Structure 1
Amino acid sequence: MVEWIRLQLDVDGFDDEAFEPYLRRARASGITFTTMADLGDTEDHQRALYNLNKTCSADIPDRGEFYTYDQYVTQRIDVPTFHPEGVILAIHDGAWIGMSTTSLHAAERHAFSEMTGVLAPYRGKGLSLALKLLAIRFVRSSGYRWLTTFHHPRNTSAITMNRRLGFVDQLSEGL
């Protein structure tokens, strides 16, 4: 059995300014950022999110078969933790090229980074950092202090990116 890497970020101590250049650089290259809430939480947009998530998730080690669309909606969208404001999208020339989805868990008073992914042709340009910055801002504006995530230990690029942002190994007293 694989021991997943569990990470957490104290959002109150996060330094936005250190990662703002990634956002500016992406915008300067013609990439825009929006949320599912701004676009509209419609079935068409849910399908587009599903397709982007499925494509980006294919690179996760030992991911297994991805949800069907109906399973995705039932388990990821039609749940109390889903908030369209927490679905950050990167768009280039009208195409969805990146995403960061964050769920809010009111009972536990923490947010969870469900998925951050960028299509292969757009990787290596800091776009994941820009998306995650906007996700962290969403968490902070929602009044949550802790943002958690977990990764397969072979998903070193995601682990490295999150640690660069200040995520540390999860401490149980932090939640």
Structure 2
Amino acid sequence: MSETWVVPELDVRLFDADRWAPYTERCRSAGLRLTTFAELGDSAENRRPLYELNSNCAAVRCGSHGVRREHRGAGVAVAMKVHGMGFAGLCGVHRVRTMHHAANTKAITMNRMLGCADADRQESED
């Protein structure tokens, strides 16, 4: 049985982070911190909470960005994506691609809303 994957792609140089600033500000106002390992330090101590979050989210199939159930629907995934695009730009990355199962319409819609275009669709054998 094959599965279809959607591959949204974004040119980071054309991404307007200011347009999406209300999402990041709302998260910060709610006490959520958007950060990177570059800022925190890439250590086992700092990776442990991320591992636990992703393990928890994988159990409920919420995706690899790891938005906890109590924060879903509040724009946290958008804020995380915006923060990530900003970091990618700082690192000199010009193009970002992600991959979603075709049934993950929320993630696909979010990426398109942010300006991603579908790079291609990929079929995989299960």
- Counterpart of 1:52? 53
Q: Percent identity?
A: 39
Q: Which runs of 5+ in 1 are unaligned?
A: 64-114
Query: C-alpha root-mean-square deviation of aligned residues, in Å?
Result: 1.9
Distance 1:146 1:11 in 2: 6
Higher relative contact order (CA 8 A, sep 6+): 2
Distance 1:168 1:23 in 2: 22
Residues 1:140 and 2:116 aligned together: no
- Counterpart of 2:40? 39
Q: What secondary structure is seen at the aligned counterpart in 1 of 2:39?
A: helix
Distance 1:160 1:117 in 2: 17
Distance 1:161 1:59 in 2: 20
Contact 1:12 1:145 in 2 (8 A): yes
- Counterpart of 1:66? none
Distance 1:154 1:145 in 2: 28
Structure 1 residues 61-100: aligned runs within 5 Å:
none
Letter paired with 1:126: G
Q: What secondary structure is seen at the aligned counterpart in 1 of 2:99?
A: strand
State the shift of 1:40 in Å. 2.5
Q: What secondary structure is seen at the aligned counterpart in 1 of 2:83?
A: helix
Contact 1:56 1:117 in 2 (8 A): yes
Letter paired with 1:19: W
Letter paired with 2:56: T
Distance 1:59 1:159, change over 3 A: farther
State the shift of 1:56 in Å. 2.2
Q: What TM-score, normalized by structure 2, do the two folds share?
A: 0.84
- Counterpart of 1:160? 109
Structure 1 window deviating more from structure 2 (36-45 vs 124-133): it is: 36-45
Whichever structure has more helix as a proportion of its residues is: 2
Letter paired with 1:20: A
State the shift of 1:59 in Å. 4.3
Distance 2:65 2:27 in 1: 16
Distance 2:51 2:110 in 1: 23
Residues 1:121 and 2:70 aligned together: yes
Aligned residues: 119
Q: Which runs of 5+ in 2 are unaligned?
A: 121-126
Distance 1:48 1:29 in 2: 19
Distance 2:66 2:115 in 1: 18
